[in-house]
């Protein structure tokens, strides 16, 4: 049964290269409401110096508006925190996982490699905020098996349900993934931070604006893997753009297309 999607900007960011969004998804599923990423959470807004390190605050310059949190936005729709049953994370960087503490009863789905970045790493890598994971969290750790989705490895989020999938896209972090959702308009592929700008896959990775390429290089866990996956995504886009809609986490043009009911592939 196709799923209904709501597009949320859960943190406006203002780096030197230009304004970005944190493009999260609210999914209405038979299993209850589900979020894909959370953006920044209410505690990040209340205690930014405690929850967000100085480098993040200085270079990313988050807007820090309470009304942009996922919790505030779902409350305006008439829901409460406990209505969110599942949260699927592309990765655990601060601007993607800050809202976890706002939904303490939700099951948190993530790839094992990404979980290990935080919990089995003596020296957590830059980009993560351990303060965001201090609360008791109901982790659902996923491994990848042999079945594939359009040539990509995948893991089902909900047992044998083939409508919501984790798709590994290693590079930005070691456990970074995309999330594929079967909607009433066909497949929507949220690629997380595998790319930052639409031209990366709609034209060519070499067409990515220089400032964004520079930021990717400095943030990447493995730039070679990231570039390989960007090339794969470009090929997939060229072959499937009439059947699959592609979005990433931070492109405001893609986000605006989605909230206006337009196909982000056409922006």
Structure tokens at 118: 């935080």
Nearby residues of 81 by Cβ (< 8 Å), 6 or more positions away: 71, 74, 102, 103, 104, 105
Structure tokens at 227: 């570039």
CB 139 within 8 A of CB 194: no
The C-alpha atoms of residue 61 and residue 130 are separated, in whole angstroms, by 19
Within 10 Å of residue 4's Cβ, how many Cβ atoms?
Answer: 12
Structure tokens at 148: 């594939």
Structure tokens at 96: 């993607």
The C-alpha atoms of residue 223 and residue 240 are separated, in whole angstroms, by 25
Strand, helix or coil for residue 188: strand
The C-alpha atoms of residue 179 and residue 27 are separated, in whole angstroms, by 12
The C-alpha atoms of residue 192 and residue 198 are separated, in whole angstroms, by 12
Strand, helix or coil for residue 100: helix
Structure tokens at 45: 């807004």
Both ends of the chain: CA-CA distance in Å?
A: 28
The C-alpha atoms of residue 88 and residue 217 are separated, in whole angstroms, by 25
Q: Does pTM top 0.85 for this prediction?
A: yes
Q: Label residue 159 exposed, middle or buried (CB < 10 Å: 0-12, 13-18, 19+).
A: exposed
Domains of the chain (ranges; CATH) run 4-261 (3.60.15.10)
Structure tokens at 267: 């922006």
Strand, helix or coil for residue 245: strand
pLDDT tens across the length of the chain (267 residues): 678 999 999 999 999 999 999 999 999 988 889 999 999 999 999 999 999 989 899 999 999 999 999 999 999 999 999 999 999 999 999 999 999 999 999 999 999 999 988 876 666 677 888 888 877 789 999 998 767 999 999 999 887 678 999 999 999 999 999 999 999 889 999 999 999 999 999 999 999 999 999 989 888 999 999 999 999 999 999 999 999 999 999 999 999 999 999 999 999
């Amino acid at each position: 049964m196709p799923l209904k999607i709501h597009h949320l900007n859960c943190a406006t960011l203002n780096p030197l290269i230009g304004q970005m969004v944190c493009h999260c998804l609210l999914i209405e599923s038979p299993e209850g409401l589900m979020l894909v990423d959370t953006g920044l959470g209410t505690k990040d807004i209340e205690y930014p110096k405690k929850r967000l390190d100085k480098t993040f605050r200085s270079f990313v310059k988050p807007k820090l508006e309470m009304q942009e949190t996922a919790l505030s936005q779902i409350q305006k729709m008439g829901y409460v925190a406990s209505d969110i049953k599942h949260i699927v994370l592309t990765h655990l960087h601060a601007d993607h996982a800050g809202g976890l503490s706002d939904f303490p009863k939700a099951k948190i789905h993530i790839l094992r490699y990404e979980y290990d970045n935080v919990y089995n790493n003596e020296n957590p890598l830059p980009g993560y905020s351990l303060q965001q994971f201090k609360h008791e969290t109901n982790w659902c750790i996923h491994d990848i098996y042999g079945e594939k989705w359009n040539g990509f490895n995948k893991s089902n989020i909900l047992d044998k349900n083939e409508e919501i999938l984790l798709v590994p896209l290693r590079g930005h972090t070691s456990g970074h993934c995309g999330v594929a959702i079967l909607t009433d308009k066909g497949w929507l592929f949220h690629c997380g931070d595998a790319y930052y700008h639409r031209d990366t896959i709609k034209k060519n990775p070499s067409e990515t604006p220089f400032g964004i390429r520079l930021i990717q290089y400095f943030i990447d866990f493995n730039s070679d893997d990231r570039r390989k996956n960007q090339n794969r995504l470009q090929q997939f886009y060229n072959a499937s753009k009439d059947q699959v809609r592609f979005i990433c986490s931070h492109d405001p043009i893609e986000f605006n297309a989605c909230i206006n009911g337009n196909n982000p592939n056409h922006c």
